[in-house]
């Protein structure tokens, strides 16, 4: 698969895989960024990337982001649309600081990971008069989850 990527800022670092078995491509902070306590910030990457149809591009946090920095993605994951690739469509990484102190992200630090998944692009909805299944499997945590 060939991906179109543009360095909107010449300092931007291209995504990289950390190991041959890695599923995601690490993305890097463009510049030093301070995230105040209990606030969210969009961290710049300096990159514009075209999601390669029919593959959807998803942005996920790295597992160490919370453990080492106390940062989370406020929306859990980002979905980058196929047409989000214009001159002003820089990939930015939203982070929320859960700590009581400011957190610094350094330029060049890995802050997220991109994953490409084949997406169902076209669908037709068929409205039915009854639930698709007679049995309910339960709600959140119903498969051995939280008590």
Is 60 contained in some domain?
A: yes
Parent domain of 32: 4-118
CATH number for position 55 = 2.70.40.10
Looking at residue 145, what is its pLDDT?
Answer: 55
The answer to the question of residue 133 being in a domain is no
**Would 68 be classed as within a structural domain?**
yes
Closest CA to 59 of 122, 67, 68, 47: 47
At residue 137, the pLDDT reads 59
Tens of pLDDT along the chain (147 residues) come to: 889 999 999 999 999 999 999 999 999 999 999 999 999 999 999 999 998 888 889 999 998 999 999 999 998 899 998 889 999 999 999 999 999 999 999 999 999 999 999 887 678 889 999 888 777 656 655 556 555
Q: Specify if 124 maps to a domain.
A: no
Is the pTM value of this prediction over 0.85?
Answer: no
Query: How many separate domains does the chain show?
Result: 1
What's the number of CA atoms in the CB half-sphere (13 Å) around residue 145? 8
CA 137 from chain centre, in angstroms, equals 29
Question: Around Cβ 61, how many Cβ atoms within 10 Å?
Answer: 20
Distance (Å, rounded) from C-alpha 112 to C-alpha 86?
A: 21
> What would the two tokens of residue 49 be?
């990337």
């Amino acid at each position: 698969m060939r991906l179109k990527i543009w360095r909107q800022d010449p300092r931007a670092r291209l995504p990289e895989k950390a190991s041959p078995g890695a599923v995601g491509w690490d993305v890097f902070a463009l510049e030093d960024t301070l995230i105040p306590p209990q606030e969210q910030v969009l961290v710049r990457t300096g990159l514009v990337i075209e999601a390669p149809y029919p593959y959807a591009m998803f942005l996920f946090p790295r597992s160490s982001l919370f453990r080492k920095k106390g940062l989370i993605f406020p929306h859990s994951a980002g979905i980058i649309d196929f047409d989000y690739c214009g001159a002003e469509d820089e990939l930015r990484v939203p982070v929320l600081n859960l700590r009581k102190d400011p957190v610094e992200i350094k330029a060049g630090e890995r802050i997220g990971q991109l994953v490409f998944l084949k997406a169902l692009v076209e669908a037709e909805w068929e409205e039915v008069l009854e639930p698709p299944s007679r049995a309910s499997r339960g709600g959140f945590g119903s498969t051995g989850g939280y008590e």
